[in-house]
């Protein structure tokens, strides 16, 4: 909608701006709305902000009069006691943000399965989808990144022919650049977005299946049942994250997750990224967020942002610096 006075109540919107309001199919029970609300919140972040603000103001949105909340017990009664839902603010005591590689998932799965699959299928993917809008956007992002790499003398970067060049010429140069990026394990959005689209095909064809450590499913289930909201923050795209957790050897684990963050939020080794996450989660203090990772630099950045931090010790992980000062665990069952 547009040209409505009420739009000005949404931060960043004015009278003449366009406000998109998603329509969500209703369900018999509130807890069944979790997935659709989560998807809507990912696309329309102001909805999540509005829900958080309503709760903070003590407004009960469950009554026709939208009157004040009389008690926490009243709010909890909205949810079925038989089906705990970790994605409701009323049940929230703390948030957990998880890294993937080396934390929930073996590094070997990423390096020996996921990366090679993307590398081996990049040419096929680009060739078969070259004229699609999605791939055009992927190529646009890659061009921008490659131009920046060439200016900065990044090894392996080669020029991409202009749009008027033949399809084969463009694809050949893109494949060369992507293979170099994968080999260097670069954490850049253009690469991660393309990889996510390639992996989607792999999961759809059952050529890929997500792998997590055996203690992860139970931990996710327990946190969820305790009202703790669990999020993922990985250098892999949000789509890739959803694919991995939606197609694991333990089944679909996405029902235990409330959201996903990737490099569009920021570099995982920069404190600013964790500040952005804390703002998105709507906590009163960053210390209410527990971040679990295997990378010391990420742990340090999160700690500087005020997060509670634990470092994951898993087989194949890189050694930590001496006297790093962080609590470590070898299994989520220790948390």
Per the annotation, the verdict on 5 as an active-site residue is yes
CB 232 within 8 A of CB 239: no
Among 5, 25, 65, 133, which one carries the catalytic annotation?
Answer: 5
Q: Which residues are CB-neighbours of 102 under 8 A, at least 6 positions away? A: 293, 294, 295, 312, 314, 316, 317, 318
Alpha helices in 226-270 (DSSP H): 238-246
Alpha-carbon distance of 124 to 121, in angstroms, equals: 5
Does residue 204 come out as left (phi exceeding 0), alpha (psi in the -120 to 50 range) or beta? Answer: alpha
Q: Which residue has the tokens 């170099």?
A: 180
For the beta carbon of residue 240, count every other beta carbon within 10 angstroms. Answer: 26
Closest by Cα among 278, 280, 327 to 304: 278
Please report the sign of the dihedral spanned by the C-alpha atoms of residue 29, residue 35, residue 38, residue 40: negative
For the beta carbon of residue 254, count every other beta carbon within 10 angstroms. Answer: 20
**Helix (H, G, I), strand (E, B), or coil: what is residue 267?**
coil
Which residues does the annotation mark as catalytic?
Answer: 5
């Amino acid at each position: 909608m547009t040209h409505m006075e009420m739009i000005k109540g949404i931060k960043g919107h004015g009278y003449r701006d366009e406000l998109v309001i998603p329509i969500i199919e209703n369900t018999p029970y509130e807890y069944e709305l979790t997935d659709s609300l989560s998807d809507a919140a990912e696309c329309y972040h102001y909805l999540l902000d509005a829900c958080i603000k309503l709760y903070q103001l003590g407004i009960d949105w469950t009554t026709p009069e939208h009157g004040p909340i009389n008690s926490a017990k009243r709010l909890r009664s909205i949810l079925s006691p038989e089906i705990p839902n970790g994605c409701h603010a009323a049940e929230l005591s703390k948030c957990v943000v998880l890294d993937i590689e080396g934390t929930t998932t073996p590094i070997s799965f990423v390096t020996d399965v996921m990366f090679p699959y993307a590398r081996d299928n990049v040419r096929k993917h680009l060739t078969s989808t070259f004229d699609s809008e999605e791939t055009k956007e992927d190529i646009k992002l890659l061009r921008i990144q490659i131009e920046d790499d060439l200016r900065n003398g990044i090894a392996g970067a080669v020029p991409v022919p202009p749009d008027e060049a033949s399809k084969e010429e463009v694809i050949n140069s893109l494949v060369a650049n992507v293979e170099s990026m994968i080999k260097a394990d670069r954490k850049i959005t253009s690469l991660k977005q393309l990889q996510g689209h390639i992996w989607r095909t792999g999961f759809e064809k059952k050529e890929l299946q997500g792998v997590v450590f055996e203690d992860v499913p139970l931990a996710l289930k327990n946190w969820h049942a305790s009202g703790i909201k669990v999020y993922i923050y990985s250098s892999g795209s949000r789509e890739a994250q959803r694919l991995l957790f939606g197609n694991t050897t333990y089944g679909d684990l996405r029902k235990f997750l409330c959201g996903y963050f990737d490099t569009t939020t920021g570099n995982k080794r920069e404190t600013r990224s964790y500040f952005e996450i804390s703002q998105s989660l709507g906590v009163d203090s960053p210390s209410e967020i527990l971040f679990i990772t295997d990378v010391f630099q990420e742990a340090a950045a999160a700690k500087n942002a005020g997060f509670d931090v634990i470092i994951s010790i898993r087989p194949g992980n890189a050694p930590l610096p001496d006297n790093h000062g962080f609590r470590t665990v070898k299994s989520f069952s220790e948390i």
